[in-house]
Amino acid sequence: MEKLQYSDILISETRKEMVDKLERFTRAHPTDMLAYLKLGDLERENGSSKVATRLHKTLLANPSTSPEIRRRIYRSIIRDYISIPDYESTISFCKELEKIARDDVSSLQLIDEVYEDNQLWNEALQIRQRILKLKDATDNTTLGILHSFIGKELLKQGKGNEGLKHLKQSLKLDELCVTGMLFLAEYYYGKNRDKEAISLFMKILKEMPGYSTPVFERLEKLLYEKGRFSEMVTIYENFLNDHPDHSPTLLSLALLYKKRGDDAQAVDFLKRVLELDSKNIEAIKELVQLYLVSKDSPRATELIDQLLHILKPTTGFRCENCGHRFKDFLFRCPNCKKWMTIK
Ligand SMILES: [Zn+2]
């Protein structure tokens, strides 16, 4: 058998070729931990997560492993369990890794990612703080967000005072923390302190207009429940004065007019949406319905034709960092794990 080098493995053209070469390599070098580690990673990437977990876990049995390689094995096992997925084991291996990675940034970053994915906000906050300390950096924006989620969770559990403390802390760290303002507004609203809730919502619209979607959603609900739904029109109109080309708001306002039976206004606003975004399926759908109600079938037919020509829908939300699209609005991108990149 010819002698395989690491470089031979590296130049594999397919994953299968790499697996074959690695298997041969590990047979020839049974003590090469990194080769085994990589072999397990490839198994996981090929969809055999359970095989990968077994392989990676046997590596832990070796007592002479260096701390750095040991942490790498843990990171691989955590990724194996994430892909199975096995929540309990993922978390328990993260806790184990935490103990041996107190000053290892790449391990801590993986742990933080897992905690945030699983909404373990308190744990995530502690890991973030440790990473920042190690890197001698500050990131009050993210710390503020994590405090706001801890606060929201505590409020949900009925721990009002503690929850409020975290929400206030989030705004102390970052006075424009959108989630902090949103959750605090929801708290005020729940306590029938409508004025304070609405003023916070308005502050977000003014200072952080990019987050109008979650604010409008909540404002609509609040004002509807309080029988003050007509105020929503004014709120949308005021927002449009400052941001005339904001098509989600134009669409919401159109729907509101439609709900109130003011079809002419609804049609006008839907047309404005389509001027800005001719492929907006929601707007086309609404406009077709309105044309059909008013028995304007030529216009309806024209729009249906337009709809049939649209191959790729462009509605929904998009991550500015990685480009992933989502149907619903999210604060943290599940794909690239960045906060506040979805617009
Ligand atoms: Zn992303």
Is position 32 within any domain?
A: yes
Q: How far is the CA of 45 from the centre of ligand 1 (A)?
A: 21
Q: How far apart are CA 242 and CA 235, in angstroms?
A: 11
List, for residues 3-16, the tens digit of each pLDDT value: 788 888 888 898 88
Separation of 340 CA from ligand 1 center, angstroms? 9
Distance, CA 117 to ligand 1 centroid (Å)?
Answer: 13
CA of 334 from ligand 1 middle (Å) equals 7
CB 49 within 8 A of CB 80: yes
Distance from residue 341's CA to the centre of ligand 1 (Å): 7
68 in a structural domain: yes
Q: List the structure tokens of 141.
A: 């924006």
170 domain-assigned = no
- How far is residue 177's CA from residue 12's CA, in Å, rounded to a whole number? 47
Compute, in angstroms, the gap from residue 246 CA to the centroid of ligand 1: 22
Give a yes or no: residue 322 inside a domain: no
Side-chain-facing half-sphere of 176: CA atoms under 13 Å:
10
* Residue 104 near residue 88, CB atoms below 8 Å: no
The reply to whether 77 falls in a domain is yes
Per-residue confidence (pLDDT) for residue 311, from 0 to 100 = 59
pLDDT score at 336: 94
Q: What's the 326 CA to ligand 1 centre distance in angstroms?
A: 10
Domain that holds residue 128: 1-137
Q: Is residue 34 part of a domain?
A: yes
Ligand 1 centre to CA of 290 (Å) is 36
Residue 190 CA to ligand 1 center (angstroms) comes to: 32
CA of 329 to the centre of ligand 1 (A): 12
Residues near ion ligand 1 (CB < 5 Å) are 319, 321-322, 324, 333, 335-336
CATH number at residue 101: 1.25.40.10
279 and 301 Cβ atoms separated by less than 8 Å? no
| Cα 327 to ligand 1 centre (Å) | 14
Q: What are phi and psi of 342, to 5 degrees?
A: -95, 120
HSE, side-chain direction, 13 A CA sphere, residue 84: 16
Residue 229 in any domain: the answer is: no
- pLDDT tens, position by position, for the chain (343 residues)? 567 888 888 888 988 899 999 999 999 988 889 999 999 999 999 999 999 999 999 999 988 889 999 999 999 999 999 999 999 999 999 999 999 999 999 999 999 999 999 999 999 999 999 999 999 999 999 999 999 999 999 999 999 999 999 999 999 999 999 999 999 999 999 999 999 999 999 999 999 998 998 999 999 999 988 888 889 999 999 999 999 999 999 999 999 999 889 999 999 999 999 999 888 889 999 999 999 988 988 998 888 888 887 755 567 889 999 999 998 899 999 999 999 999 8
In a domain, 59, yes or no: yes
Give distance in angstroms: CA of 251 to centre of ligand 1.
25
d(CA 216, CA 249): 9
Q: How far is the CA of 338 from the centre of ligand 1 (A)?
A: 6
pLDDT score at 124: 98
Number of structural domains found in the chain: 1
Q: How far is the CA of 131 from the centre of ligand 1 (A)?
A: 21
How many A from CA of 325 to the centre of ligand 1?
8
The dihedral sign for the CA sequence 204, 210, 215, 216? positive
